[in-house]
Structure 1
Amino acid sequence: KPRHFREARTEPMSEYMVGLSEYEVARKRTIEANEAKLFELGLLRAGRASQLGTKKVKKAKARPVGDPDYMPEKRTTRVSGLKRGRPAVVDESTQRSREERNRGERAAAHAERVASVAEERVAALDAPKPADDEPTPTRCIIVEGAKTGRSKCRRCMEAISAGETRVGMESWMVGRQVLVWQHPKCFWQGLAFTEEGSGRGRCKQTKEVFAVGEHRLSASAHTTSANFKLNVAAELLRPVASALGTCTVSAISGAGVLSAAELKAFEAGVASPAPDAQAVVPEVTPTPTASEALELERDRKQPAEGVVARASGRVAWRWAGALCYGHLLPKSETATHCYARTAKGNTKTLTKGGVYWWML
């Protein structure tokens, strides 16, 4: 390195050198030493060294007074209004204290969220749990009046009008268990007496195992077949026989496999009056008309948000330009959502505070 460069390293740094790297400081000092030598030899004019690195700012021309055709000159280069600044140097202890403070704030926020969720769960457990508006059926064969006219018989594929008696049984459809409906006459045509062959079958209602060679009653719904013990089947078929009025047990397919005593006992069990016949076929609550539902839409009654109220009853909501109806499921309610069961057995999620649904 030249002699003047080595001597320049011992000089104190100028103000504009503060914050530069070691290489940049050495380069600046080398340039200053070279300029000083050039000035000494007369190869550099006075003041030239101080002007290096500075940018001349062109002053804007003053607008002539009284000149209506004056147009300011267009800027040819893009100028940023931001000022260059260097990031503040933070020592290690300050950085560590900031990280600890942020970590503590995050831990406190997480603990607060966990506590709020725990309080909501405790409140949900302590809240009274009334029975659902539509209790889950315990009988494998259900007889009731159609709530709407949208259901269809799975055997004859004809519509079941509102209020008409229908028979329901669970079947596997579209990857899930659903309740399918049939006319009582169509359901009776799908019955058959069969004989247990393996000894591994169970009664659908009581879950009892069939003995090998034991006679049983098979009922079909869509693609599903369910087997029942004869005494249980007779009790389940009482409401169906009551809805049909006149039915012949001997006309059921496979009745010839039964003995005379079994056939007589089965006929007596089916013919016995059902003590809960009135409860099996309940009075149907008609679906409100569109005008009645729209009148209630003005009030837009809903359970309060943030509270598990276990609300029950009928609800209506708008979907794809149509009005849909269902029953609230109190046990499924949360602080932010309600859930309703549709006539087809589907579950609808309703957001509390939403403007698209209301209670009837």
Structure 2
Amino acid sequence: MTSKIHTSGTAVTGDGAHAAGGGRGPVPPGPVDVEALHRTVQRIAANVEQVLVGKPEVVRIALVTMLAEGHLLVEDVPGVGKTSLAKALARSVDCTVSRIQFTPDLLPSDITGVSIYSRQAETFEFRPGPVFANIVVGDEINRASPKTQSALLECMEENQVTVDGETYPLRAPFMVIATQNPIEMEGTYALPEAQRDRFTARVSIGYPDAKAELAMVDEHTGHDPLRELRPVADGAEVQALLRSVRGIHVSTELRRYVIELVTATRHLPELRLGASPRSTLQLVRAARAQAALSGRPFVIPDDVQAVAVPVLAHRLVLTSEARATRRSASDLVRQLLARIPVPRGEGGR
């Protein structure tokens, strides 16, 4: 393993897939205890907000992504707290955490692991890479080559790693939190469409307002709140949260609303590529998570609208004409939300 990779938390040793985890598989739905879920999530949110001051909306999207069993892409200019957000969320949950610093010379095997020949056993032994953790923090993912970025495709979609024809399952829960700089920055590669589509949501932190920046100067110059952060939940609690979220009710009308919204992106003249069927599934999961955060055991249209932009916008590819007129994918999603009729009925049920 190269020096670019740093792991923390419980160490993952080179004992193969069985030592690294028992595999994920689908998390079955469980009884919905909204009050207990809300208390746990509030503890995690308060913990993260000790580090990321004045950005409750960003923290909300991060928690929605975690509850939706998805992966989060944090995109913004350097210095606004992308890595701090990823680390704070990872350290708030007491489970295995690894960090990968993406650089142009990083290799796919540096992420997934490699098979090494053992003279004593006279066979090849698999040495797991840093992806064998519950939460994987990928720092500046778009500074690595597309070939290296593609090493995460199987991990993020199927929660497994295949090396030399052998498949190794990843431990549940599994979440990738990746940061990236805008593609206009020097030394960056654009994420391939297939890679972006694996991320459930994308969020931009933005600069803090004057009040939040003053509070950050007062609180962060004397000590590092990230270093002092302690876990407020563990892996078992997160598993219980995921089971509860899967039990959140989504009515037939709301499912049709989600499908209509996603389908509409495929017919916009400003787009060269609309949202995929995977995004339909991710939007429903994110809406369930948003409903749980709001303290409801069922989804309403407001939940879909609250997560539509971060879930859909990063998957859309604008035409050159739309980019020339400075249109943004987020604006197009908002226009669709305003145009498509919202299903009526109590709670969308």
- Which one has the largest radius of gyration? 1
TM-score under structure 1 normalisation?
A: 0.17
Structure with bigger helix share is: 2
Choose between structure 1 and 2 for higher RCO, CA contacts under 8 A separated by at least 6 residues. Answer: 2
TM-score under structure 2 normalisation?
A: 0.18
